[in-house]
Structure 1
């Protein structure tokens, strides 16, 4: 099992001037601790589960380009881009640029979008859910076509591209990996089975994660895709401390052994990789513990493998 880090909170003391140095240090600390990936949300307003919309929020791809420039090995992506935020041709160009400048470390994380408030706030059209999923499938088709070097016209129901040119090509071949976020059993899982290299689930408990894996396995069978070709990732939240006792903030923490046990249970439920929302992400000392967790779970494999 590999560990990634998602940074979703940028409201640190001294903002806005402190955001760049703090985020850069987090990216370097995550890489030095052996984490395999770094993710940011692709939102323009902060989301309700974390805080009010007025809290600081960075544009995703600018933030990832900055992080890539601060690091040399860690892979970078959004968890995940709403398909409505950018025209697919521009999105593919953006991810390709990130891949080229990072030396082949970019992912395309994508989903159907859900935050209506930020759409309306910034004047971005917010179509009904059915149309959003139609757009998502067309965006996936466009991405794969552009990354294959096929410049022939694309004509979909919602998008038309006369010449989907993508130069320079991505460094990662055959293309930057595609991760689809969400747990919808009918539409999202089908798109994962048909187009994605990875999926991302929420940590909804081991029983529900097993059900999600079974549903995905069924969709893979329907489209003739090997279930093992798709990496199952889970987004889970924890804070780490040497003792595992409650932090001064009142937030519960996990010891290294407790974190390893928890991640092991997620692997038993079918998860290949875990992406952490680290509650004490700005504490450099936390990454010494993260490094220990990374070493201990390196040999842990999904029960499905």
Structure 2
């Protein structure tokens, strides 16, 4: 599969009318493709999540959006980042992503995770359950989805899901990639070791060495060579030619979620900002080299949380990051 640099569209509007909404998203995807990103993803949410915006801000359904982006793009892979497993029956999800693959000429990726945003579960009537419940659902779902993507006809009577000789035609291929996203060191990483082609790790950069050790342990338990599993790092980023302007963007984003880092002691401010890569292009590149690439992770999935709707920011991010991951 060899995803190296992904661009996520985390929000679906920026003070635009509804009629302007999808053309703006299309422009983002095309700008990312031109800027050197090899994958374009959209968030799979029903309400806008924290850090991104208010719950009642516009959100489009992920797979309808991806299918509409297919004819507007040429080469980028298309995926949800990541599909909330709890929102769709797993056999139907296999059919949906396979249809996206047909529509896009073989460019679909199944990005999937256990789900985490309780508010949208309550609002739409989906069972949220415990963390263990959602991890169990994900494992069962993958035992249906992955065989269907490979041309098999699974039958399963599980705790959460059932399938009876489930068909999945037409398909372009039997190796449609499966990407699992998350940071759960036992259940999520275990699912990645058993079922996935790619794991997108979500954590603070300071936690990454421990996460990689846990992943190696899960691969050993599954009898899998960890070198056969692609690994990327979820990279929330504010980048600007003026590093101080990027740092102000981070302060504003955190303030929207109720965190005023200006008034925090140094240790608490460092903890609140640990997850983010912020500054000028040189500063961001230096942070990524030290915090991610130095640990052997060579693939990045980028969230431009503050201004990812601006073409020049997409171009700046692509121009900065593509050389870091190219050829590694």
- Give TM-score, length-normalised by structure 1: 0.90
Match of 1:183 in 2: 183
Match of 2:195 in 1: 195
Q: Distance in 2 between matches of 1:237 and 1:163?
A: 41
Structure with a larger share of its residues in helix: 2
Q: Is the 8 A contact 1:45 1:57 kept in 2?
A: yes
CA displacement at 1:300 relative to structure 2? 6.4
1:151-171 deviation line (CA, Å, top 9, x unaligned): 2533323222123100101x3
1:36-76 deviation line (CA, Å, top 9, x unaligned): 11111111001122222111111111111122221011111
Q: Is the 8 A contact 1:35 1:74 kept in 2?
A: yes
Q: Is the 8 A contact 1:12 1:18 kept in 2?
A: no
Match of 2:297 in 1: 271
Classify 1:233/1:40 alpha carbon distance in 2 versus 1 (closer, same or farther; 3 Å): same
CA displacement at 1:291 relative to structure 2? 3.7
Match of 1:234 in 2: 233
Matches within 5 A, 1:24-173: 24-169=26-171, 171=172, 173=173
Q: Is the 8 A contact 2:26 2:69 kept in 1?
A: yes
Q: Distance in 2 between matches of 1:295 and 1:117?
A: 36
Q: Distance in 2 between matches of 1:290 and 1:163?
A: 45
Match of 1:258 in 2: 283
Q: Is the 8 A contact 2:11 2:43 kept in 1?
A: no
Q: Distance in 1 between matches of 2:73 and 2:91?
A: 27
**Partner of residue 325 from structure 2, selected from 274, 279, 298:** 298
Classify 1:221/1:161 alpha carbon distance in 2 versus 1 (closer, same or farther; 3 Å): same
CA displacement at 1:212 relative to structure 2? 0.2
Q: Distance in 1 between matches of 2:132 and 2:5?
A: 33
CA displacement at 1:129 relative to structure 2? 2.8
SS, match of residue 169 in structure 2 = coil
CA displacement at 1:245 relative to structure 2? 3.8
**Partner of residue 280 from structure 1, selected from 294, 307, 318:** 307
SS, match of residue 39 in structure 1 = strand
Q: Distance in 1 between matches of 2:20 and 2:136?
A: 40
CA displacement at 1:190 relative to structure 2? 1.0
Q: Distance in 1 between matches of 2:162 and 2:135?
A: 17
Q: Is the 8 A contact 1:3 1:35 kept in 2?
A: yes
1:232-256 deviation line (CA, Å, top 9, x unaligned): 1111122333343415x93266322
Q: Distance in 1 between matches of 2:186 and 2:287?
A: 29
CA displacement at 1:298 relative to structure 2? 3.5
Q: Is the 8 A contact 1:33 1:294 kept in 2?
A: no
Q: CA RMSD in A?
A: 2.0
CA displacement at 1:145 relative to structure 2? 1.4
SS, match of residue 281 in structure 1 = coil
Classify 1:300/1:257 alpha carbon distance in 2 versus 1 (closer, same or farther; 3 Å): farther
CA displacement at 1:203 relative to structure 2? 4.6
SS, match of residue 127 in structure 1 = coil
Matches within 5 A, 1:209-228: 209-228=208-227
Q: Which moved more, 1:258-267 or 1:63-72?
A: 258-267
- Give TM-score, length-normalised by structure 2: 0.84
Classify 1:152/1:44 alpha carbon distance in 2 versus 1 (closer, same or farther; 3 Å): closer
Classify 1:97/1:16 alpha carbon distance in 2 versus 1 (closer, same or farther; 3 Å): same
